[in-house]
Structure 1
Amino acid sequence: MKRTLKITGLLAGLAMGATLATPATAQDPFTGQLQQFGMNWCPEGWHRADGSLLSIAQYPAVYSLLGTRYGGDGSQTFGLPDLRTRMPVGYNAQLPISVMTGTTTTTLLLSNLPTHTHDLQGDETGPVTNQPNGTMLGTFPTASPIYSSGNGTVPMNVHIVQITGGNQPVTIQSPILATNWCIALEGIYPPRPD
């Protein structure tokens, strides 16, 4: 009889515990939390971190955390962070929170390059023609005249001096793996530290 009462009491206690409201678990996100996902959609209660403008009236808790740092007019709308093709980094005094900076390409200018020299390439055999078109410099005997008083209208062989770059942008993007950044619109309101 005592054993039956103990089991019955234990079962009743478990049943009551199951019906009580449970506190938030470690699985519940903080409102405003950013999270990467491997699928191309965001779970329920989350929104893609794509710079969208949301209604302040519909998401007052998220607005109270983000304000207009990421866009919006502050009276009707606020913006979400835009992490499309962006890599998040920690903020500091020189890089305030929400600042977007950087680029995936750059154009190198002469001023970007260190001072350097190039040897003018020639052929070890003596000159065999008077036509500069499509040829390269040959070795001249000492004291032989090698300069012309002409205007230099004939292009030399393209292998002597080549133009590189052409002021075209070059890629400077680090290797990446695209994932789906989402922001929690629902969850535990994050408590501020004391």
Structure 2
Amino acid sequence: MDDLLASIKLFAGNFAPRGYMLCQGQLLPIAQNSALFSLLGTTYGGDGRTTFALPDLNGRSAVGQGRGPGLTEVKLGEKAGAEQISISVANLPSHTHTMMTSSAPGTTNSPVGNVIAASEVVVERGGSPIPINCYGSTPNGQLAATAIVSTGGNIPVQIRNPFLGLNYIICVQGIFPSRS
């Protein structure tokens, strides 16, 4: 094998080639894989006495460890993130749902460019329809907060990037990397 032990690659096949294993978090015995264990340790799992684990990249993307400019630190072996989230009121920009009104008597029966105003109608029997002037142009109040209801289905929102499923494979039989 010409690859470095513990190096990870993407592989489009549906199996791991000789000298590689799929990165599926499987436990391996330390006794039969001491060189690989010396590189991975228990970073990805295992008890460190008889077993250690390979990285589990099932359904995950790899990201470089460390801290990039303006980013939070990612530790070697750290798993984080979610496929989807539920957005709550705390995630929304601050805003209000007020509806302006007027306590003055209405001056028109057209809602366009106007607000709800005080209105009064006297209905006589058998007469013609009477237009109700229930809109005014000058707001001086607002409806109670309970008059306007919130809505939403609380359906989770997918937050992952577009993707293509491939296999991550790790070299388990290869050249032991030197530190220099």
One-letter amino acid of the counterpart of residue 163, structure 2: I
Correspondences of 1:62-141 after superposition (within 5 Å): 62-92=36-66, 94-118=73-97, 124=111, 140-141=134-135
3-state SS of 2:28 partner: strand
After superposition, give the CA deviation of every residue in 1:130-185 in whole Å (9 maximum; x if it has no partner).
xxxxxxxx97145xxxxxxxxx9xxx9xxx96722x33321111111111100010
The whole-number CA distance in structure 2 between the counterparts of 1:187 and 1:139 is 86
Q: Distance in 1 between matches of 2:135 and 2:91?
A: 40
Unaligned runs of 5+ in 2: 68-72, 100-109, 120-131, 137-145
Q: State the shift of 1:90 in Å.
A: 0.8
Larger strand percent:
2
1:112 and 1:171 map into 2 onto residues whose CA distance is 15
TM-score where L is the length of structure 1: 0.64
Aligned pairs, number: 140
Distance 2:48 2:134 in 1: 78
Shift of 1:117: 3.9
Identity %: 38
CA shift digits 1:109-141 (9 cap, x unpaired): 111110124576xx83999xxxxxxxxxx9714
**Distance in 2 of aligned mates of 1:124 and 1:35:** 65
Distance 1:90 1:124, change over 3 A: same
Structure number with bigger Rg: 1
Rounded Cα–Cα distance in structure 1 between residues aligned with 2:88 and 2:78? 27
Name structure 1 gaps, 5 residues minimum.
1-23, 128-137, 143-151
- Structure 1 position 58 matched with structure 2 position 32: yes
For 2:167, the equivalent position in structure 1 comes to 180
CA distance in 1, matches of 2:91, 2:53: 37
Partner of 2:125: none
Are the equivalent residues in 1 in contact too, given 2:111–2:135 (CA < 8 A)? Answer: no
The TM-score with structure 2 as length reference comes to 0.68
Measured after TM superposition, the shift of residue 40 of structure 1 is: 1.1
Structure with more helix by fraction: 1
Q: How does 1:35-50 map to 2 (within 5 A)?
A: 35-50=9-24
CA deviation after TM superposition for structure 1 residue 96, in Å: 1.2
After superposition, the CA RMSD in angstroms is 2.8
